[in-house]
Amino acid sequence: MFGFKKIFLFGLVILSVVSAACVQGPPANSTSGGPGAGDGKKIKIGFAMATVKEERWQRDQKAFDEYCKKVGVECFITVADNRAEKQLSDVEQLLTKGIDVLVIAPHEATQAAQMVDMAKSKGVPVISYDRLINSDKLDLYVSHQVPVIGRKIAEYALQKVPKGNYVMVYGGSTDNNAVIMKKEQLAVLQPSIDKGDIKLVADQFITDWKPEEALKFAENALTQNSDKIDAFVVSNDGMASGVISALDKKGLAGKILVTGQDAEKAGLQRIAEGKQTMTIYKPIIPLAQAAVDAAIKLAKKEALADAKPFMNDNIKKEVPAILLDVQVVDINNLMDTVIKDGYASYDEVYANVPEDKRPARK
């Protein structure tokens, strides 16, 4: 009888263990079900932005926030006002909110590696957004094709102005995008420089891509070269506005090639007026959506099937990357690109052009 009781009690113990296992909830980091983390809560994404001063970054902020709401995830967006120490503090605060994924548009590429380390120490995946962080611990780098942007700008300038004096206006030296673009631009121009067809009369990195700094640099370059400059190869529209202000003062706007990037509304207007020669159109909504979609997958521990290796030359390491296409925009295709896509309206683009000088609406 004692043996029977012993077996009976042992059976009850086993049954209770099995029953407990059957009713136990999913682990805290379970990835099953919907856009949540598996515990009935929404996925939380932190987005640490360096700035929203430029129109381009305002578009990123809006697109990111709207898409998070559309797909049912919670996002926290901070803006560091181009201050590295504030961005570090922002990331610290985001991590205290229990975010599942951290997205960083870094102010300083090298300093931001510390933020990556902080997040990874807490088991939080990190996406480098638009600007590449100097860390091999990134889970993803999502951006437009920055090397391609650099080449396209230089190739356009070379096609339009195959000979003459060039001034190179690079972005902030702490931004990997500016460094990458400089490298690619010079690679395109170097054969013509070596042949003597192009003379590089001035070049400079512009702190934080500031238009006012680009204005001062352009004024000095014009003065030092007696206004004999044939092309300003400028790495974004904001700085192009500064360069064109310098040219305007001398009555040279529209007479000297000026490149750009970002397809900002003011830049598109300058192209329509004939003051800026070109820009690079980088659709922002697909970029923001790609970042959010990837963040959701990382939170659910799903593979990023679209990611490809990208070499960060600064650290000599590859990181997974999703890079989106870009397009050259000039006065000849405004209608068929940014206006057709709804990125900017016809009335916005041609606001400063007399109606009898505008192309017909399509």
Please give the CATH number for the structural domain made up of 146-282+327-357: 3.40.50.2300
Predicted TM-score of the model (pTM): 0.84
What's the pLDDT score for residue 37? 57
Residue 189 near residue 221, CB atoms below 8 Å: no
**What is the Cα–Cα distance from 325 to 143, expressed in whole angstroms?**
9
Domain boundaries, the chain: 44-144+284-324, 146-282+327-357
- What average pLDDT does the chain have? 91
What's the pLDDT score for residue 36? 58
Do domains 44-144+284-324 and 146-282+327-357 share one topology? The answer is yes
Q: Helix 84-96 to helix 112-121 angle, to the nearest 10 degrees?
A: 10
**What is the Cα–Cα distance from 334 to 344, expressed in whole angstroms?**
10
Q: Where are the beta strands (DSSP E) in 117-191?
A: 126-129, 140-144, 164-170
Superfamily (CATH H level) for 44-144+284-324 = Response regulator (3.40.50.2300)
Residue 128 near residue 177, CB atoms below 8 Å: no
What's the pLDDT score for residue 220? 98
What's the pLDDT score for residue 3? 47
**Per-position DSSP letters for 45-110, written without gaps between them:** EEEEES---SHHHHHHHHHHHHHHHHHT-EEEEEE-TT-HHHHHHHHHHHHHTT-SEEEEE-SSTT
The C-alpha R_g of the chain, in whole angstroms, comes to 26
**What is the Cα–Cα distance from 295 to 146, expressed in whole angstroms?**
21
- Give pLDDT < 50 ranges for the chain: 1-34
| Strand partners for 169 | 204, 234
pLDDT digits (tens, 9 = 90+) for 107-130: 999 999 999 999 999 999 999 999
